[in-house]
Amino acid sequence: MSAWEVAALLMLGGSTVLLFIGMPVALTFISINIIGAWFYMGGEPGLVQLARSSVSSVAAFSLTPIPLFVLMGEILFHTGLALKVIEGVERLIRRVPGRLAVVAVVAGTVFSAISGSTIATTAMLGSLMLPIMLSRGYHPTIATGPIMAIGAVDMLIPPSALTVLLGSLSGISISKLLIGGVVPGVILSVAFVLWIIVRVSISPQLAPADREEVTYRGWARWSPFFAYVLPTLSIFGVVVGALTAGWATPTECAALGAFATMLLALCYRVLTGKAVLSALKGTAGISGMILFIILGATTFAQILSFSGASNGLVQAITGQGLSTGMIIAGMMLMLIFLGIFVDQVSMMMITLPIFMPVVQALGIDLVWFGVMFLICMQLGLLLPPHGLLLMTMRGVAPPAVTMAHIFMAVVPYVIMSLLLLAAVFWIPEIATWLPQLIG
């Protein structure tokens, strides 16, 4: 066994084993980094360099959008504006099969455009809308499936903290990656709505007609949309508009979005001290976790490269005579497989040090690859048995909803996500058209 193979086995194999036995992600990579730095960077001097690299990895200005994107969603949830958005969407949608499930998808899409956290979106919709759907006779699978599925779409539609993290770890343009996820995210949202309508039309007993539906007419029907939904969506317009026009960097756009969110809450007189404190606590907790993970990931990739494992893996993969398409397809299959067992950040940590040198050596479009990577991570949120959003739904669902219900509920949405991944693979323009359009 060559030296680079030993290094790859130690670094990649060791980290994978520690993750699978349940060690926290950040501690896993910091432990492996210490061992790697000692063996491959000269003992004590290597540990000193490891500390320096760790500090510089989290001091990068490009990571600033992460806490700001998370803060946007936290402000909306803790001030109660999210409830007003649901009410505005619910009044507009009427007389469609599975109406409340459709409302959940549309409201979730709106939240995806203003929230950077998939878990927060799923938890909020699950705690608010799931009890209502169940009380009105909806089958648990038709009630839980759309909420989990649209929570996963949050990863594709900007702002998204995980998209910023992927861009910063992979070297892909963060702004192009954020914009590249818009079209696939919208396609999935539309597909979910159509599926619900078709499914309930075939089996009406899954979602009985809403007898308690109050019919609003005229201005009473449209007033919540103009009062709450449209102003909230304007935040998405501020962030994406400034980004696409080239007026602001991703960091500046995130700051604009956070400021606009707080200004909106202030205008509605719901920006209380308690709400701000709760939002800041939530933001600090999530952001701290992400930055601690980045610390481990960046230095891990550096040690892997320094040991010669990265270069050896690239030569081993590219020297097999496989076509570019076969290599990319193999990468996507590996990501889907990992999604069954580990979380999204772990997927990035394990694969990016191997994948990115290969992608760059083959001259593959980075935005196209990055969007497919995002879709695979979005799939991982929904894949049984350890999908993060499945666990989130289990946490907010009443006892009557079993894990069997939750597993069955996500199957059609997983299939639709796989079809989207295949479509982006064969038609790269789905992911690259919008970033190319805006230059």
What pLDDT, in 10s, does the model give residues 268-306?
888 888 988 988 888 887 777 767 766 776 677 677 777
pLDDT single digits (tens) 317-354? 666 777 888 889 888 988 887 777 666 777 787 788 88
What does the pLDDT read at residue 428?
93
Confidence of residue 214 (pLDDT cuts 50, 70, 90): low
**Closest C-alpha among 360, 349, 350 to residue 317:** 360
Whole-number Cα distances in Å, 420 to 120, 187, 339: 24, 8, 17
DSSP state of 246: T
Domain ranges of the chain: 3-437
- Give dist(CA 244, CA 154) in Å, integer: 19
**Closest C-alpha among 430, 367, 412, 436 to residue 186:** 430
Q: Is 409 helix (H, G, I), strand (E, B) or coil?
A: helix
Is the pLDDT assigned to residue 216 strictly greater than 90?
Answer: no
What does the pLDDT read at residue 1?
65
What does the pLDDT read at residue 396?
77
Residues 396, 127 contacting (CB under 8 angstroms) = yes
Determine the average pLDDT of the residues in 346-367. Answer: 84
What does the pLDDT read at residue 284?
83
Residues 356, 171 contacting (CB under 8 angstroms) = yes
What does the pLDDT read at residue 161?
76
pLDDT single digits (tens) 64-115? 777 887 788 788 878 888 778 878 887 888 778 888 889 889 888 887 777 6
Q: What angle do CA 184, 178, 278 make, to 5 degrees?
A: 110
Confidence of residue 187 (pLDDT cuts 50, 70, 90): very high
- Global pTM value: 0.77
What does the pLDDT read at residue 287?
76
- For the record, the structure tokens of 306 come out as 């320094």
What does the pLDDT read at residue 196?
93
What does the pLDDT read at residue 385?
67
- Give dist(CA 395, CA 147) in Å, integer: 13
What does the pLDDT read at residue 367?
93
Confidence of residue 200 (pLDDT cuts 50, 70, 90): very high
What does the pLDDT read at residue 372?
95
What does the pLDDT read at residue 75?
85
Is the pLDDT assigned to residue 309 strictly greater than 80?
Answer: no
